Structure 1
Amino acid sequence: MPPLRPWSPIPIDDAGEPLDELPATLWRLEPHPYQRLGAPYGAGASPFRLRRGVIVRLKTAQGLLQQQQPHWRLAIFDAWRPLAVQAFMVRHAFREACRERSLDPDAAGPAQAAVAAEVDRFWAPPSPDPATPPPHSTGAAVDLTLAEADGRPLAMGGEIDAIGPISHPDHYAEAPPGSEAADWHVRRLLLVGVMAAAGFAQHPNEWWHFSHGDQLWAWRCQEPQALYGAVAGEG
């Protein structure tokens, strides 16, 4: 059993907002990466949905970005995830991480346990307990990056979902001025700046993950309760 997150004890008082489809003004990175892997979303279920209030804040963040970089835009990698998809992706991430280290993912040993612990730092367990929902299952969390006006993602110094220190938001903070790595750090700072100004909190381990209203957000913003719990896709 993975350890609870520091935000897990925070109570949830769900605001009851529905999931809405992202508007056309917010760029989607398609084909959707998890659907392409065969993740079980179910017939007609769209991963590009978020709680209504979260979408409003995303649009605000994009406006703030374009005040500073008029030819850039936010690019949405992933949004809402049902629990079945969360479970599928945790298994996939573990097996891929084992493969990269030439380990048998079906064996049980200290090396596999170490991989599982590392994966757990980036992928929330697919808890069915309504008191501890995975952030993406609440419709309050979004994975995103910066892109050119035509939707081409900008280099950020690491791929979304990469397992390891390269994904930490400040990984390039000590990069030499004028280097490519320093540019990556500036872009990460710009992303977190506009998202924070719109009311989002960043995952401490992931430069791409932001949320508003879930338990992680409440923990990072020192709010007494979360606004969104797990939500079914038909909402």
Structure 2
Amino acid sequence: MKPYQKIPIKECGEPLVAIPQEKFVVELPHPYEKLGAEYDGKSPYCLRKGVLEALETAQFLLDKRHPGWKLKIHDAYRPVGVQQFMVNYTFESLIRKYGWQENQISPQQRQELWSQVYELWAAPSADPNTPPPHSTGAAIDLNIIDDQQRVLDMGGAIDEISPRSHPEYYARSKTLQDQQYNRHRQLLNQVMSDSGFCRHPKEWWHFSLGDQMWAWLQNQQNPQKPKEHLQARYGRV
């Protein structure tokens, strides 16, 4: 169990609503659908109503700073079944990356692979008390495109298993290119955090609002106020 999963959930009952695709940039078909993930008729481009309203605020703030720029959504609502698919897909991808055969790897190698997988992906838990963040409709993975339809280079890909995925990876670098990567990451974080989101501590692209991780991060910022500790308001959909 990860620390944020200990946060209690007091479900507010807000519905999942479709993300208006004319206001943002999305990829069709969805990146995980291209890999073979099944959404069982549900759209991956959905969020809880309150989360979508906050995302629209983030888009407004981005456009105010950089007219014509848009948030590019990689992933939003993710059923637990898709979470399981991506966990398995990532495990198999790592085996191919190392040139191994699954039936020949040692127990230690298998454990090392799973450790890498779960460094990136939340466990596809069916327990309503420990839902994967995306299955709540309160988490989103995204980037930015500029007014020339170019994706901002963040110095690392979404879903990349690498130290480069950590938000502050380039913060202390002195090279001009790395400083640019860091500015791009700071811009994304700024418009999202100003709209109420919290960024995942280890993923520059992942933001949430109202789920267990969001509440846990908020509480970490106010450790001296236990009576004001937040609960999650969004559980698994």
The answer as to whether partners of 1:71 and 1:148 remain within 8 angstroms in 2 is: yes
TM-score by length of 1: 0.92
Q: What is the aligned partner in structure 1 of residue 162 from structure 2?
A: 164
Show the counterpart of 1:140: 138
Deviation for aligned residue 1:115: 1.9
Three-state SS of the structure 1 residue aligned to 2:6 is coil
Q: What residue identity is the alignment partner of 1:133?
A: P
Q: C-alpha displacement at 1:151, in angstroms?
A: 4.0
Between Structure 1 and Structure 2, the one with more helix by share is 2
Rounded Cα–Cα distance in structure 1 between residues aligned with 2:202 and 2:186: 14
Structure 1 gaps of 5+ residues are none
Counterpart CA distance in 1 for 2:106 and 2:197 is: 39
Q: Secondary structure at the match of 1:50?
A: strand
Mapped pair 1:126 → 2:124: yes
2:218–2:230 Cα contact (<8 Å) kept: no
How far off is 1:108 after superposition? 4.0
Q: Helix, strand or coil: the match of 1:121?
A: helix
Name 2:233's counterpart in structure 1: 227
Task: Output aligned runs, 1:15-164, within 5 Å.
Answer: 15-23=12-20, 24-42=22-40, 44-106=41-103, 107-149=105-147, 151-164=149-162
The aligned residue for residue 196 of structure 2 is: 199
Aligned-partner Cα distance in 1 for 2:43–2:34: 13
Please say which of residues 87-96 and 26-35 is displaced more in the overlay: 26-35
Normalised by the size of structure 2, how large is the TM-score? Answer: 0.91
Identity of aligned residues (%): 46
Structure 2: gaps spanning 5 or more residues:
220-228
Q: Deviation string for 1:122-180 (max 9, x for gaps)?
A: 10000000000000000000000011235432111111000010111011112215x11
- SS of aligned partner of 1:219: helix
